[in-house]
Structure 1
Amino acid sequence: MAVRPVTGDVLGARRDSVFTRMPIAARIALIYVAARIVTTVFLVIAAELSTPASRFGGDANIGNFVLGWDAQWYQFIAEYGYPAELPRDDAGVVTTNQWAFMPLFPVLAKILGLPFGGYGVGALLLALAAGYGACLALYHLLRTHLDEAAALWAVVFFASMPIAALFQVGYAEGLFLLLLFLALRCVQRRRFGWLYGLVPLMGFTRPGVLAFALMLALYGIWRWFRRRTDPLPVRQIVHIVLVGLLAAAVGLSWQYIAGAATGDPSAYLETELAWRRSWTGESEAGFVPFHGFVQATAVWFRLWGMPEVLGYVALGVAVLAIAAVLLFEPHVRRLGVEIRLWSTSYVVYLLLVFFPQSSIFRLLVPLAPLFGAFALPRSIGWRIGVLAACLAGQWWWIYNMYALASTYYQIP
């Protein structure tokens, strides 16, 4: 375990200021509330700018945004459950339906909303609370390797990130991030027993737990080669293997659950492919690992009026650049092996299974621990610049996804 560096000034405040004397949970609460106020202002402006051409109409309000886009699917699950018979078009091809979404968030939101008059309030409260919990967990995850100021600045970036509106709408990302950061913290502290509870919760919140299984496999290999300088007891080997197998089983279980409930073994896969087919128009295309990114590259470069071959080159360069950053970039290396292995595993997972479209920004959110690398440079100018870029990106995202919301590439 790394020794924590000596704490310096925190967010520009003197070390003897009221802010620095507050408990860390209270300081992060202030940061989080300030970030949510900014996001609320952005959402109010977006509602004012919404027109009849938007899916939210000319009289949109924040309540519409809370249950907009995929949040409607979670609400539908809470109210009606999952279909026993898959919906199909005239050609018999499976169309979009609830099986693409995991049940934990809508179930908790429905329960939380009971005393407050409905699912929408419960979804908003759950998203807000999970977002704050994720900020607190991220701070402790990063504090092992960063000083207090850098860890707090990383929380500022995270709370204000370009898609921070997810903390105020009925999406499951905030809850998943809370569980993920807690799980990474358990690996970091080698408290593997907690993972037997956290992994199933992650797996039934949103897709991505298979990446955690890969991360544990890589972590076990890393620990094995370091066992002479960092002892690896048999008990820890057993935990790493068992939790890894549990994560893999949970990650694959939804396919079998969907298959058993619908009588169609391919129910989940066909449901996921339904979203992809709406972009490609290929009703018969099946799932091939890595093909989604290659196929989407061609789609986007055609959309931009550029040669497809240029897109393939750009994809290859991007993959190599990301690998180089995760392996060699000094600020990323400072974050510790657990965060680097998770980031690598999640990128591999996305490349394997995802078809990148407008929701790619949302799908990248589990890489949020990398905000710690952006917080490491001590220049206040740099940190303010990163925050300004986060806020500018946040407004751009909210404007496109909620104010405009009129085309198929404006889906969060």
Structure 2
Amino acid sequence: MITRRRAALVRYRVLPWWARVSLIYIAARIVSTVIILAIAAGQGANPWTGAHPGYFDFATIWDGHWYFIVAVTGYPDQLPMTADGHVGENAWAFMPVYPFLVRGLMIVTTLSWPVVSVAVSVIAGLGAALVFFKLMAHVLSDARTAMFSVVLFCVAPVSALFQLSYAESLHTFLLVLALYLVVRRRYGWLVPVIAVMAFTRPSGLAFALFLGLHVIVRFATRTREPFPWRERIVVSLIAVFSAIMGLAWPAIAALVTGDVTAYTDTELAWRSAYIGYQHLVPFAPWFQSANWWLNSQSGFPVGGLVVVLLIVAFALSLLIAPVRRLGADLRIWVLSYGVYLLAVFFPQSSTFRLLMPMFPLLGAVAQPKSLIYRVAMVCVFIAAQAGWLLLCWGVDGADWTPP
């Protein structure tokens, strides 16, 4: 038995890198499938499926149904209004690349939405894992640590999104490709990637901030790494392009509906169940959420204090040695995305999903070489994945924990 295991390990190690990444990804998806099927077996009737749904039906609930609506009917030219005159939840909150891509493939293959939408997510997730290995191998200069980073990437607590009917899988592929292009200084290829990425998930503004900070850091360190004028101009222009793309979808929503704030009002509709209908005030949502979740009868601002402590902890985490080893570019991205979330996102149960673009930090988690540590991390991640699926994906009556 031991000899067979060693032989299998030897055969695995001599495989090309892309084959090893693919095997890791497939194995992780099998684990996720088992967890999803186990939860589906105990799932009761809900707004999207009957009791005990099959895999594909269960994989297309929650926002998957909104993407299906977009794929089939497109976007409304009139915003739905609530009884008290506010904009209600509607399809403008969901960007078009993923649902339109799936729709096109449905027409070509004649397959159903559940099958094609899940297939697109699975394939995009594999692409993301492959590029993520190249990214980690470049910044860490250690192939084994880079490969373990891929293991963590594939079994991460929200990695089941790689096989669910959500746009996150496709967006992650585009994002990791964009980051890889930046660290390799292949700036010209960023333009089409950013253009598609900005219409897949909200990302243009965060990536624009990242590129702006990238220019500043490269200029400040130009004695160690030359930063020619041509590259300075190109990256600066691409940062502006990314900012424009970040504002393009709200502009399109405004143009089609005739309502200047159509997109932001639509997004705010989802948080109205917590704090009512309010205007979007940058950097206020985290404090609003913390005050809602941690309301203190004493009047002491517990929520605000917690947010400040989280900000300090996040900033300090970017300074620890394993994170510094990822290089300036990836740390700048994590910082930029963190600032973006702090500015616009209202924390609730979907926070775990919204943290997915911070995946470069897995390269820091992967660095300890102890076998016990690595096995333990994989087990913890799989257990957390099961917990996330059970808490957020499974539907329990009037569920307040959407993924």
What TM-score, normalized by structure 1, do the two folds share? 0.93
Q: Find the aligned partners of 1:165 and 1:407 in 2 and give their Cα distance.
A: 23
1:120 Cα offset (Å): 1.9
SS in 1 for 2:139: coil
Cα 1:48–1:62 shift into 2, 3 Å? same
Q: Residue 157 of structure 2 contacts residue 385 of structure 2 at CA under 8 Å; is this kept in 1? A: yes
Written as runs of structure 1 = structure 2, the 5 A alignment for 1:257-336 is 257-280=252-275, 282-283=276-277, 285-302=278-295, 309-326=301-318, 328-336=319-327
Q: Find the aligned partners of 1:409 and 1:289 in 2 and give their Cα distance.
A: 25
1:173 Cα offset (Å): 0.5
Cα 1:258–1:309 shift into 2, 3 Å? same
Q: Find the aligned partners of 1:237 and 1:76 in 2 and give their Cα distance.
A: 43
1:408 Cα offset (Å): 4.0
Match of 1:8 in 2: none
Match of 1:7 in 2: none
1:131 aligned to which of 125, 131, 139: 125
- 1:196 maps to 2:187: no
Residue identity in the other structure for 1:19: Y
Cα 1:202–1:357 shift into 2, 3 Å? same
- 1:369 maps to 2:360: yes
Q: Residue 56 of structure 2 contacts residue 118 of structure 2 at CA under 8 Å; is this kept in 1? A: no
Q: Residue 204 of structure 2 contacts residue 244 of structure 2 at CA under 8 Å; is this kept in 1? A: no
Cα 1:404–1:67 shift into 2, 3 Å? closer
- 1:222 maps to 2:214: no
SS in 2 for 1:130: helix
Q: Find the aligned partners of 2:236 and 2:6 in 1 and give their Cα distance.
A: 45
Q: Deviations over 1:268-292 (max 9, x none)?
A: 1110111111221x23x10101111
1:233 Cα offset (Å): 0.7
Match of 1:382 in 2: 373
Cα 1:31–1:194 shift into 2, 3 Å? same
Q: Find the aligned partners of 1:385 and 1:90 in 2 and give their Cα distance.
A: 52
What TM-score, normalized by structure 2, do the two folds share? 0.95
Residue identity in the other structure for 2:163: Q
Q: Unmatched 5+ residue regions in structure 1?
A: 1-11
Match of 1:19 in 2: 12
Match of 1:399 in 2: 390
1:14 Cα offset (Å): 8.8
1:122 aligned to which of 116, 121, 128: 116
1:34 aligned to which of 18, 24, 27: 27
SS in 2 for 1:17: helix
1:252 aligned to which of 247, 262, 268: 247
Residues 108-117 or 91-100, more deviating? 108-117
Residue identity in the other structure for 2:151: V
- 1:112 maps to 2:105: yes
1:239 Cα offset (Å): 1.1
Written as runs of structure 1 = structure 2, the 5 A alignment for 1:84-163 is 84-114=77-107, 115-146=109-140, 147-163=142-158
Residue identity in the other structure for 2:315: A
1:64 Cα offset (Å): 2.1
Residue identity in the other structure for 2:402: I
- 1:356 maps to 2:351: no
Q: Find the aligned partners of 2:96 and 2:23 in 1 and give their Cα distance.
A: 31
Cα 1:36–1:244 shift into 2, 3 Å? same
Q: Deviations over 1:194-241 (max 9, x none)?
A: 011111111000012211100001010001111122111111011111
Residues 115-124 or 160-169, more deviating? 115-124
1:58 Cα offset (Å): 2.3
Q: Residue 127 of structure 1 contacts residue 167 of structure 1 at CA under 8 Å; is this kept in 2? A: yes
Q: Find the aligned partners of 1:36 and 1:249 in 2 and give their Cα distance.
A: 36
Residue identity in the other structure for 1:393: A
Q: Find the aligned partners of 1:306 and 1:365 in 2 and give their Cα distance.
A: 35
Q: Find the aligned partners of 2:363 and 2:24 in 1 and give their Cα distance.
A: 16
1:404 Cα offset (Å): 3.9
1:17 Cα offset (Å): 1.1
1:405 Cα offset (Å): 3.6
1:250 Cα offset (Å): 0.2
Q: Find the aligned partners of 1:331 and 1:130 in 2 and give their Cα distance.
A: 28
Q: Find the aligned partners of 1:13 and 1:324 in 2 and give their Cα distance.
A: 42
Aligned sequence identity (%):
39
Cα 1:39–1:15 shift into 2, 3 Å? closer
SS in 2 for 1:144: helix
